[in-house]
């Protein structure tokens, strides 16, 4: 082994200071080094040889990471005991519902579009694995953010009146999971209608109920992304409690979704008129447009009002 | 049967607060990390270095001790000293300690 310039003490101090906030690092390093040198000197005075003295002193100080964590007083965990049970529950519910649905759905789509059985199975397995990993990642991310943002509240006096209603909480949880599954089903149905269930256009390509140009522009993925942001936000609000700022954010999110969709529908850019002609829809595309606008407005309004009601209710009980 | 780890944990928990009190009392006279560690040990308060050093920082952050770098000697050392706030806490903790001691005494006499 080649000798390096850094001593055992150098290596120990560097490792211990890794988790320590930068502004305290210099001072802690100076003190820690002095303390180590003092201890080594003591042992040398008692007759130990230098390498043994250094080794023993560091061994007695114990794992440097643990020492560093004690200095920094920062949590060395991602999700703490207060959220852990909820975290595992949300994760297991999501994984046990969304992943099998996605597996079946992508399997059916692949098979119908003419893949071989083996390719279908492989593709579906891959898709399910990918979905599971994204779910795990985003769930963990949301909970880690909650863990760090609610830290400041912990010192406040806990009031039993702030306990959530048992029934309400459970209902809301089910609602939340229902919302995720519902969103994925809608997204799946749309993709299906647009691809395998689409009808042939004049030029021989497939077209679906959504305007082809809009579909190809990737707007659908933006909508899907929006849905996940919205769901994550609802999970976040569920744990941090509905505050006025959360209610305002909900309204903003709803407006961000409703306005572009209503505008697209009203200006005739959302739906594919040719598609509705081709499938001989009796009432024409205008009626569908109106229905879409009505549903979007209704959902956005309901969600916004729901958020505001939760926020004011929370205020009253505090 | 209690295993060694569990036994050690119980002892550690019982001692935890006593280190704070011992530090506050000892640091009425200014002292630095390693010297305090050996002084505590000699006085019969066994404490690990990796507990004591971060503890001193925490006490300082809470205003119970103050610190000052002493650069008079070849090796600069950070000296800690108990503040009036720290002394007040030490007095309160000492009262509690004595009450607990008396309570245990009574308990053991009666059993």
The three-state secondary structure class of B81 is strand
Q: Find the mean pLDDT for residues A199-206.
A: 68
Residue B8: per-residue pLDDT? 86
pLDDT tens string A252-299: 888 888 888 888 888 877 887 777 777 777 767 777 888 888 888 888
pLDDT tens string A73-91: 777 788 888 788 878 877 8
Q: Using a CB–CB cutoff of 8 Å, tell me whether B68 touches chain A.
A: no
Instruction: Using the structure block, give the residue that is written with the tokens 């569920």.
Output: A238
B76 contacts in chain A (CB < 8 Å): 30, 34
Rg value, chain B, Cα: 16
Q: Find the mean pLDDT for residues A112-133.
A: 79
Inter-chain touch B57–A28, beta carbons under 8 Å: yes
Q: What percent of chain A has pLDDT over 70?
A: 81
Report residue B55's pLDDT band, with 50, 70 and 90 as the boundaries: very high
B75 contacts in chain A (CB < 8 Å): 34, 37-38
Cα(A55)–Cα(A147) distance, rounded to whole angstroms?
39
pTM value is: 0.56
Inter-chain touch A61–B34, beta carbons under 8 Å: no
Inter-chain touch A60–B58, beta carbons under 8 Å: no
Structure-token pair, residue A173: 């949880």
Q: Which residue has the higher pLDDT, A151 or A268?
A: A268
Report the chain A residue with the minimal C-alpha distance to residue B57: A71
Structure-token pair, residue A170: 């459970």
Cβ proximity of A289 and A265 under 8 Å: yes
What Cα–Cα distance (Å) separates residue A282 from each residue in A277, A285, A288?
A: 8, 9, 11
What Cα–Cα distance (Å) separates residue A17 from each residue in A30, A81, B53?
A: 11, 26, 13
Residue B101: per-residue pLDDT? 93
Report the chain A residue with the minimal C-alpha distance to residue B69: A31
Pick from A28, A34, A73: which is nearest to B76 by CB? Answer: A34
With vertex at residue B9, the alpha carbon angle to CA B4 and CA B10, rounded to the nearest 5 degrees, is 100
Pick from B50, B69, B76: which is nearest to A61 by CB? Answer: B50
Pick from A30, A39, A71: which is nearest to B54 by CB? Answer: A71
Task: Give B34→chain A minimum CA distance, Å.
Answer: 5
pLDDT tens string A222-255: 777 777 777 777 777 766 666 677 777 778 888 8
The two beta strands, A199-200 and A206-207, are antiparallel
Residue A318: per-residue pLDDT? 42
Report residue A317's pLDDT band, with 50, 70 and 90 as the boundaries: very low
Judged by CB atoms within 8 Å, which residues 2-61 of A form the interface with B?
27-28, 30-32, 34-35, 37-39, 42, 60-61
Task: Give B107→chain A minimum CA distance, Å.
Answer: 34
Cβ proximity of A214 and A268 under 8 Å: no
A124 Cβ contact partners less than 8 Å away, ≥ 6 residues apart: A103, A104, A106, A107, A110
Q: Find the mean pLDDT for residues A121-142.
A: 84
């Amino acid at each position: 082994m080649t000798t390096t310039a850094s001593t055992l003490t150098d290596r120990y101090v560097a490792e211990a200071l890794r988790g320590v906030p930068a502004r305290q690092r210099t001072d802690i390093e100076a003190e820690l080094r002095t303390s180590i040198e003092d201890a080594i000197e003591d042992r040398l005075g008692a007759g130990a040889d230098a390498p043994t003295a250094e080794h023993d002193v560091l061994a007695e100080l114990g794992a440097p990471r643990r020492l560093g964590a004690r200095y920094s007083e920062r949590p060395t965990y991602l999700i703490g005991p207060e959220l852990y049970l909820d975290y595992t529950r949300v994760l297991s519910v999501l994984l046990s519902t969304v992943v099998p649905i996605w597996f079946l759905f992508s399997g059916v789509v692949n098979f119908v579009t003419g893949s071989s059985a083996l390719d279908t199975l492989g593709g579906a397995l891959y898709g399910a694995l990918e979905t599971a990993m994204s779910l795990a990642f985003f769930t963990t991310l949301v909970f880690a953010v909650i863990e760090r943002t609610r830290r400041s509240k912990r010192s406040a006096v806990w009031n039993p009146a702030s306990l959530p209603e048992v029934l309400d909480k459970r209902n809301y949880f089910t609602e939340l999971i229902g919302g995720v599954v519902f969103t994925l089903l809608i997204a799946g149905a749309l993709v299906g209608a647009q691809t395998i269930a689409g009808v042939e256009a004049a030029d021989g390509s497939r077209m679906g109920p959504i305007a082809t140009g809009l579909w190809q522009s990737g707007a659908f993925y933006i909508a899907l992304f929006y849905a996940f942001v919205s769901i994550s936000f609802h999970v976040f609000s569920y744990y941090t409690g509905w505050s006025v700022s959360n209610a305002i954010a909900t309204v903003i999110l709803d407006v961000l979704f409703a306005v572009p969709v209503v505008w697209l529908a009203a200006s005739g850019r959302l739906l594919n008129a040719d598609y509705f002609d081709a499938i001989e829809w009796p009432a024409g595309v205008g009626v569908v447009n109106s229905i879409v606008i009505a549903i979007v407005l209704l959902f956005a309004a309901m969600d916004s009002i729901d958020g505001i009601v939760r926020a004011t209710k929370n205020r009253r009980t505090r | 049967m209690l295993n060694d780890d569990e036994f050690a944990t119980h002892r550690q928990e019982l001692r935890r607060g006593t280190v704070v009190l011992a530090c506050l009392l000892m640091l009425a006279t200014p002292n630095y990390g390693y010297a305090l560690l050996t002084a505590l040990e000699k006085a019969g308060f066994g404490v690990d270095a990796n507990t004591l050093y971060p503890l001193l920082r925490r006490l300082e952050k809470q205003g119970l001790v103050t610190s000052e770098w002493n650069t008079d000697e070849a090796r600069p050392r950070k000296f800690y000293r108990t503040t009036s706030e720290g002394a007040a806490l030490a007095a309160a903790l000492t009262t509690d300690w004595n009450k607990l001691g008396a309570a245990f005494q009574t308990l053991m006499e009666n059993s």
